[in-house]
């Protein structure tokens, strides 16, 4: 072998590459939560309420509470018997527990699971008024108004595609949703 000649490539050597090249670094805590993560967290929270109502639905169908089809049918299912009462208590308990979690930590059950958090626009913690009363319960009341109930939920959801990722309920309450360290990243666009 000549001393000034570069060594020949070994055709049997494993390929060399930088395995970290092209990887996107994980977003830092405090940045806006991903749209998909917020969506999945909202779905999980909604499913918790559905699970709480299932016993009342079963009891309501068995007792005939839904046979008339009136707007009070679900209420009648909650008070029609043992399962309905248990379901109603579970649902109210979940509402109170979720409100407590949001007011004290800025996180619902699903937001804790996905490591995202509601904060005020200036990054200070939310309280009961901004996190629960205005952000959640006011929107639920507004959605009971005819015609508004057809437009508001869709408009609220579509606002997530704004640059600041704030829905109507965030704008009204002066809040935003941020990610914490180790947050689940579910991207939708």
**Residue pLDDT, tens place only, 34-67:** 999 999 999 999 999 999 988 888 877 777 766 7
| Chain center to CA of 40 | 5
- Look at residue 18 and tell me whether its pLDDT is greater than 70: no
Q: How far apart are CA 117 and CA 175, in angstroms?
A: 10
- Look at residue 21 and tell me whether its pLDDT is greater than 80: no
Exposure string for 116-155, b = 16+ CB within 10 A, e = fewer: bbbbbeeeeebeeebbbebbbeebeebeeeeeeeeebeee
149 CB contacts (<8 Å, ≥6 apart)? 143
163 CB contacts (<8 Å, ≥6 apart)? none
For 100-128, the DSSP string reads HHHHHHS--HHHHHHTEEEEETTSPBP-I
Alpha carbon distances (Å) from 22 to 18, 19, 71, 181: 9, 8, 56, 22
**Contact assessment for residue 125 and residue 102, using Cβ atoms and an 8 Å cutoff:** no
Q: pTM for the whole thing? A: 0.76
Q: Which pLDDT tens digit goes with each residue over 113-128? A: 999 999 999 999 999 9
Comparing CA positions, the residue from 123, 112, 121, 134 lying closest to residue 164 is 121
For 111, other C-beta atoms within 10 Å of its C-beta total 26
């Amino acid at each position: 072998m000549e001393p000034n000649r570069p060594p020949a490539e070994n055709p049997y050597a494993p390929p060399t590459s930088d395995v970290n090249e092209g990887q996107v670094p994980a977003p830092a805590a405090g940045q806006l939560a991903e749209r998909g993560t917020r969506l999945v967290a909202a779905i999980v929270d909604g499913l918790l309420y559905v699970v709480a109502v299932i016993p009342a639905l079963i009891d309501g169908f068995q007792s005939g509470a839904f046979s008339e089809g009136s707007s009070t049918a679900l209420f009648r299912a909650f008070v029609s018997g043992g399962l309905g009462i248990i379901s109603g208590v579970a649902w109210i308990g979940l509402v109170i527990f979720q409100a407590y979690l949001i007011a004290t930590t800025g996180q619902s059950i699903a937001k804790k699971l996905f490591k995202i958090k509601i904060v005020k626009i200036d990054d200070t913690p939310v309280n009961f008024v901004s996190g629960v009363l205005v952000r959640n319960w006011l929107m639920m009341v507004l959605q009971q108004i005819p015609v508004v109930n057809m437009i508001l939920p869709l408009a609220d959801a579509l606002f997530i595609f704004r640059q600041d990722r704030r829905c109507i309920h965030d704008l009204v309450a002066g809040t935003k949703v941020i990610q914490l360290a180790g947050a689940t990243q579910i991207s939708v666009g």
